[in-house]
Amino acid sequence: MAKVTKLGLLKGRTLGLLGAGNMAEALVRGVIQSGTIPSRDIIASDVSPERRAFFKDKLNINTTEDNKKVVSSSNIIVLCVKPQQVDAVLQEVSPEFVAKSKLLASICAGVTTARMEKSLPAKSRVVRVMPNTPMLVNLGASCLCAGKHARDEDLGVIEALFSSASITLRVEEKMMDAVTGLSGSGPAYLFYLVEAMIDAGIAEGFSREDAAALASRTVLGAAKMLEETKLPPEELRRRVTSPNGTTQAAIEKLDADLVKIKMTAAVRRAAERSRELGKQS
């Protein structure tokens, strides 16, 4: 019931996307599937003719090369470009951005709300979001924070938008780089682990197809156990680890190679890189 109420905040709104990459695609699919914003009220721009054609033919939404057209025809605008392109794109569309009637959400890693506000008219309402790619299968995780002039209602609208394909969590902006390192880049860490599991399976005699099927299902099942049981991962791991058994032997090898310490360092390096990107203009 809460989700239905939340999605109701999107009724009667128009959506524009500046950039038509994978995350924009995931968001559009979720919104259309939820039925809150019809495809006729969504428009996306992109420099790639192939991506524009894909969005038009497969998602049945309007597309254009003109970023200004996206902003002028939408009251919710989602910025989906590379961090290095943010300043130029916002300066381009700024004349079309009416602060009182338009709301900007950005999924650009490392780019602060203050930086975006500088390129837009005074008192523009900005919400920063960090989603992740499992939005493509309606299982994403998105964190969001408000800019200086964004109201609680604005946060609710963007929360509703991203809740069509992900869980949402409001955080303080100082936590957004950590979000990027933990969940924004997080799927890649898991894919990296599955690559290793598949390689090990092949080394033990499995075909690549069978090793991939076993590894993928194992990861999916384990993730579902984490979500549904609400038990700490330490407890679930303990339940699998019999004394002197096979799992204990594997965990001892991981501990000996400092895998947990290195994994923690990797996540923190991703967060650090997000901060570095935020300082680049």
Tell me, what's the pLDDT at 104? 98
Tell me, what's the pLDDT at 279? 76
76-79 and 166-170 as β-strands: parallel, antiparallel, unpaired?
unpaired
Tell me, what's the pLDDT at 153? 94
Residue 166 has pLDDT above 60, yes or no: yes
In this prediction, residues 190-210 reach a mean pLDDT of: 98
pLDDT digits (tens, 9 = 90+) for 7-61: 678 888 999 999 999 999 999 999 998 888 999 999 999 999 999 999 999 999 9
Task: Report pTM.
Answer: 0.88
Residue 96, classed as helix, strand or coil, is helix
pLDDT digits (tens, 9 = 90+) for 148-160: 999 999 999 999 9
In this prediction, residues 223-229 reach a mean pLDDT of: 96
71 φ/ψ angles, rounded to the nearest 5 degrees: -70, -40
Residue spans of the domains in the chain: they are 2-180, 186-279
Fold match, 2-180 / 186-279: no
Tell me, what's the pLDDT at 2? 42
**CB of 108 within 8 A of CB of 79?**
yes
Q: Which fold has domain 186-279?
A: ProC C-terminal domain-like fold (1.10.3730)
CA distance 140 to 229: 19
Tell me, what's the pLDDT at 275? 87
CATH number of 2-180: 3.40.50.720
CA distances from 130 to 27, 32, 194, 281 (A): 12, 20, 24, 19
Tell me, what's the pLDDT at 73? 95
Residue 3 has pLDDT above 80, yes or no: no
76-79 and 103-106 as β-strands: parallel, antiparallel, unpaired?
parallel
CA distance 197 to 202: 9
The residue among 277 and 108 whose pLDDT is bigger is 108
* Rounded percentage of the chain residues whose pLDDT exceeds 70: 97
Tell me, what's the pLDDT at 148? 96
pLDDT digits (tens, 9 = 90+) for 54-95: 999 999 999 999 999 999 999 999 999 998 899 999 999 999
Tell me, what's the pLDDT at 281? 53
pLDDT digits (tens, 9 = 90+) for 230-269: 999 999 999 999 999 999 999 999 999 999 999 999 999 9
Tell me, what's the pLDDT at 145? 97
